[in-house]
């Protein structure tokens, strides 16, 4: 019996784990119930546990000696009110597993169950990570917090999965090299001098100035950067004024900066400052703060090859595809900066009713769970075996 057949035999457990977690979603750095379920599941399987890693994370190990292969699963939910009417719907008002992290944990637990039955040629280390979607009061997400607590020490390779609601169940995608964007956030204010809307010449209209600033910001990728270098500057919030006939003193805006090439990051910051400086040219002023976020996600070619081979063994080559480039961001990028790593996309599409990630209607075809568990486990075994052969 191969590892996928064994995974299908525990499919009911995978679904039960996923639904339990889905019904009790928890925000970043507060995943205590989820962590307790993980610990209670893994300890009887003989895993060595460290709890409260990166605040609420868990590190679970089995096996001995090198190589050390890490499998990461994020645990946190999103501040979204679930719209699905299903028996396992969120019981927490305003919180929902709309990004599939409940499935990530269930698949990783399944992989742990499968690997507990193997004579491991090395060590497998599971990283159940808090707060991928959000940051703490110091602006730090879960991956760097776990790294600071030693979760990646001695790791030779790291793998993860992410469910994909637009991809057919039974398929996976993965790509080598740049696979996700680096992301920073900017917060700005255009400052003028308010006055009566009937006498605009007596003040300095920050709304008028902000219009020019917005055009300059949106032009950065198209006119200030090499057009072959992917980058995004998007404005997400814009606030100014309270009364229809009063020119306000200031307009506030914020947005996201995305890039694949790390060399673009300082250039983007300079160009955003340049765009805001139009406010001074037009008689006003500005304030700008840029908060650095996740670095670009770069997948290691050898780890990608192991994922592709493992998935092809289990699913057939026709079900293994190259993932499209995305400007989405993932704090898995911090782990990939510590050791060679890669994340694959796991198809979970509900046929006839496609559900998008981060939607209040997001749900998944739970038949993907054994596939995810088996692919994670088989990839870890392949990486261990390949590393041992290389060292012999």
pTM of the model: 0.94
Instruction: Check residue 392 and give its pLDDT.
Output: 56
3-state helix, strand, coil in the chain (%, to 5): 35, 25, 40
Asked if 189 and 287 touch (Cβ cutoff 8 Å), the reply is yes
Instruction: Kindly give the confidence (pLDDT) of every residue in the chain, 392 residues in length, as a single tens digit, with 9 standing for 90 and above.
Output: 799 999 999 999 999 999 999 999 999 999 999 999 999 999 999 999 999 999 999 999 999 999 999 999 999 999 999 999 999 999 999 999 999 999 999 999 999 999 999 999 999 999 999 999 999 999 999 999 999 999 999 999 999 999 999 999 999 999 999 999 999 999 999 999 999 999 999 999 999 999 999 999 999 999 999 999 999 999 999 999 999 999 999 999 999 999 999 999 999 999 999 999 999 999 999 999 999 999 999 999 999 999 999 999 999 999 999 999 899 999 999 999 999 999 999 999 998 888 899 999 999 999 999 999 999 999 999 999 987 766 65
Strand 172-174 relative to strand 341-347: parallel, antiparallel, unpaired? Answer: antiparallel
Name which of 79, 71, 132 is nearest 101 in CA terms: 132
- Active-site residue identified among 294, 301, 317, 354: 294
Q: How far apart are CA 225 and CA 31, in angstroms?
A: 41
C-beta neighbour count of 167 within 10 angstroms: 19
In tens, the pLDDT along 248-306 reads: 999 999 999 999 999 999 999 999 999 999 999 999 999 999 999 999 999 999 999 99
Angstrom distances, CA of residue 222 to CA of 39, 153, 210, 218, 219: 49, 41, 19, 8, 5
What domains, with CATH codes, occur in the chain? 3-179+296-391 (3.40.630.10), 182-292 (3.30.70.360)
Q: How far apart are CA 34 and CA 203, in angstroms?
A: 55
Catalytic annotation present for 286: no
Residues 6+ apart with CB under 8 A from 121: 381, 384, 385, 388
Instruction: Check residue 387 and give its pLDDT.
Output: 77
Q: Is 65 exposed, middle or buried (0-12, 13-18, 19+ CB in 10 A)?
A: exposed
Catalytic annotation present for 366: yes
């Amino acid at each position: 019996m191969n590892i996928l057949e064994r995974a299908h035999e525990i499919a009911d457990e995978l679904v039960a784990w996923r639904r339990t977690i889905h019904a009790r979603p928890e925000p970043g750095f507060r995943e205590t119930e989820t962590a307790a379920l993980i610990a209670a599941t893994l300890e009887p399987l003989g895993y060595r546990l460290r709890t409260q890693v990166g605040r609420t994370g868990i590190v679970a190990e089995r096996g001995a000696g090198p190589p050390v292969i890490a499998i990461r699963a994020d645990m946190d939910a999103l501040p979204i009110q679930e719209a699905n009417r299903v028996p396992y719907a969120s019981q927490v008002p305003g919180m929902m597993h709309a990004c599939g992290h409940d499935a990530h944990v269930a698949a990783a637990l399944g992989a742990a169950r499968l690997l507990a039955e193997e004579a491991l040629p090395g060590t497998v280390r599971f990283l159940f990570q808090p707060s991928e979607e959000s940051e703490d009061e110091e602006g730090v997400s879960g991956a760097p917090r776990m790294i600071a607590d030693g979760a990646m020490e001695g790791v030779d390779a790291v793998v993860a999965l992410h469910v994909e609601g637009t991809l057919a169940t039974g398929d996976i995608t993965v790509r080598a090299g740049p696979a996700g964007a680096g992301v920073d956030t900017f917060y700005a204010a255009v400052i003028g001098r308010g006055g009566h809307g009937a006498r605009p010449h007596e003040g300095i209209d920050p709304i008028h100035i902000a219009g020019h600033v917005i055009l300059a910001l949106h032009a950065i990728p198209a006119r200030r950067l090499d057009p072959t270098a992917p980058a995004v500057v998007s404005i997400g919030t814009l606030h100014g004024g309270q009364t229809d006939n009063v020119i306000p003193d200031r307009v506030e805006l914020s947005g996201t900066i995305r890039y694949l090439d790390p060399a673009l990051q300082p250039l983007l910051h300079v160009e955003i400052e340049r765009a805001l400086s139009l406010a001074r040219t037009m008689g006003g002023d500005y304030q700008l703060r840029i908060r650095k976020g996740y670095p670009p996600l770069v997948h290691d070619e050898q780890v990608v090859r192991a994922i592709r081979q493992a998935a092809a063994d289990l699913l057939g080559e026709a079900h293994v595809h190259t993932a499209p480039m995305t400007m989405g961001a993932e704090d898995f990028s911090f782990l990939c900066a510590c050791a060679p790593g890669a994340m694959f996309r796991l198809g979970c599409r509900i046929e006839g009713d496609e559900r998008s990630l981060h939607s209040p209607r997001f749900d998944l075809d739970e038949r993907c769970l054994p596939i995810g568990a088996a692919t994670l486990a088989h990839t870890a075994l392949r990486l261990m075996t390949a590393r041992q052969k290389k060292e012999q």
